[in-house]
Chains A and B, each alone.
Chain A
């Protein structure tokens, strides 16, 4: 069955770079894209970006200068890197499959604090 699982550090110091991995199973990254969405504590959802099945990417314009999404299809993994982290980047980070974001990972909580 289709599954996605996010992994990464729970705590990142300000100004440093966040690296997250979304490991997928049950589908091919060459056939489906993966999006990243984040949710600050007690707040709504924010779309961050997408990497498509052909490897092309699109980003949230507010994050574009700091954000990079890539993948390793052989390992069924999608990577998110965001630099110059600030306290307002503290959030739950989710990955989800495109095709109307029909399947989501459980999310990983990232806290930005010194």
Chain B
């Protein structure tokens, strides 16, 4: 199975500041069709996960441009600029290139 290593586990931030979360895979996430199926989700307390970024760098409908995704191969990053209170929660990466699909362990974005 592909292991997704997400860092840091906890990320204290100040409102208005910037946050960066890393997700590394144990093998390349480039599919045989050339696409890379690495996605990012935010789970707010008591809620279901919500899709932020799909296929590395595409923002889902309604997601502010403060969120950006980048990376390739085995190394991916989610950046959040100008952090707002509604951005706080648990962030997860998910790879759906290889079966079984696997999530990263999560990063808790919290106030400093």
B-binding residues in A (CB < 8 A): 35, 37, 44-47, 49-50, 58-62, 94, 96, 100-102, 104-107
The answer to the question of B88 belonging to the interface, with a C-beta cut-off of 8 Å to chain A, is no
| Pairs A–B under 8 Å by Cβ, sample size 23 | A37-B103, A44-B90, A44-B92, A44-B104, A44-B106, A45-B41, A46-B103, A47-B94, A47-B100, A47-B102, A59-B100, A61-B100, A62-B100, A94-B49, A96-B48, A100-B39, A100-B55, A100-B60, A100-B96, A101-B94, A102-B51, A104-B50, A106-B48
Give Cα A62 to B102, complex, Å. Answer: 12
Give min CB distance, A52 to chain B, whole Å.
12
Q: Which residues of A contact B43 (CB under 8 A)?
A: 45
Q: CB-CB < 8 A to B102: which residues of A?
A: 47
Instruction: Tell which of A45, A46, A60 touches B49, judged by Cβ atoms closer than 8 Å.
Output: A45
Question: A47 touching B60 by the CB < 8 A rule?
Answer: no
